[in-house]
Amino acid sequence: MVRVRKNLIPYMFLIIPLIIYLVWVIGPMFYTFYLSLTDWDGLTTPTFIGLQNYQKLFEDKVFYISLFNNLKWLVSFITIPVVLGLALAMVLNRAIPGEKFFKMSFFMPMVLAMVVSGLIWGWMFHPAGGLINNFLVATGIMEKGPGWLSDRDLVLWSIILVATWRQVGYVMVLYLAGLKSINPQLLDAATVDGATGWQTFWRIILPLLMPVTVIVIVISVIDSLRAFDLVSVMTRGGPANASSVLANFMYIESFNNYKMGYGASIAVILFFLSLIFIFIYLWRVMKDELEY
């Protein structure tokens, strides 16, 4: 009797959080799979229509634009902020005058709401009054600045620039923590053996930072697939869907066009795109577990 009660103790602690999590997070995930097979306007009962949503999706031009935009976002995100963040971490990892101020300047964008960043940058990109075009014209670099958010070839990159501005500080923080955990004796040993700074970086520091890099890349991929706020605030996916990403496409189909079954099928695609990276993350956590 006593033994049974003892076994139940952890479940007593877990029961409430677990039920809430199953109802609000895990259950809905599966329900989205079902919804993606239905025709649903958000008000009436969903009707089962098989794979028709997916059929339609694979013929939808906006779907491909959004998908490629997500991929461009993803590729930019796992390169530019990672390199810049690592470079900053390397520079700021030693006693350097003004260290605190520098670090804080790069952290700060992370604290701002995406909506706030989107609005302020939206203003900087303003074709006539904005800082960027004013600067370009005043310095004579261009006669007339481009329409950063209205030119179809530029708009996505303008938004990715904002996202990068925000992401660099985050990557820097993670690498700084990683650098702190490296045993300084290893680096001293390398110097004694006559390694140059460059060699030490490529042969010792970078390999030792590998676990951090994996996490950074997984987080960057997941963040780039989740991207929504900036696009929503700055362009709503326009002009002519040129800056649409899957999350926005899904939101508009579901809540503006009331095609929620269709929206669900977009969400399912997003889910499968993330799945492999979720597995990589879980695998890393699992590996740490086994080392305990």
Partner 1 sequence: MNTQYFKSPWRILVYLILILATFLWLIPILTGLVTSIRTFDDILYNGFISWPKEITLGNFQEAWERGGLNRYLPNSFIITIPSLVLTLLLSSLGAYALARFRFRFNRAIFFLFVAGMLLPFQVLMLPVFKLTDFLGLYDTYWGLIAFHTAFQLGFCIFMLRNYMRTVPGEIIEAARIDGCGELRIWWQIMIPLTLPALAAIATLEFTWIFNDYLWAIVLLRSDNLKPITAGLATLQGQYVTDWPVIVSGALIGTIPTLLVFLFLQRYFIEGLTLGSTK
Residue choice 134, 147, 195, 239 for contact with partner 1 (CB under 8 A): 134
Token representation of residue 216: 């950074």
Nearer to partner 1 (CB atom), residue 103 or residue 153:
103
Q: What whole-number distance in Å separates Cα of residue 53 and Cα of residue 262?
A: 5
Residue choice 71, 229, 238, 239 for contact with partner 1 (CB under 8 A): 229
Do 152 and 242 meet the contact criterion of CB atoms below 8 Å apart?
yes
Q: What whole-number distance in Å separates Cα of residue 117 and Cα of residue 110?
A: 9
Instruction: Return the residues of window 58-117 that contact partner 1 according to CB under 8 A.
Output: 88, 91, 94-97, 101-102, 104-109, 111-117
Nearer to partner 1 (CB atom), residue 153 or residue 231:
231
Instruction: Return the residues of window 170-209 that contact partner 1 according to CB under 8 A.
Output: 170, 173-174, 176-178, 181
SS3 content of the chain, % helix, strand, coil (to 5): 75, 0, 25
Q: Where are the beta strands (DSSP E) in the chain?
A: 38-39, 47-48
Nearer to partner 1 (CB atom), residue 96 or residue 240:
96
- Minimum distance from residue 180 beta carbon to partner 1 (Å): 8
Residue 250 sits in the site that holds partner 1 (CB under 8 A)? yes
Residues in the chain: 292
Instruction: Return the residues of window 145-174 that contact partner 1 according to CB under 8 A.
Output: 165, 168, 170, 173-174
Q: What whole-number distance in Å separates Cα of residue 248 and Cα of residue 235?
A: 10
- Minimum distance from residue 204 beta carbon to partner 1 (Å): 17
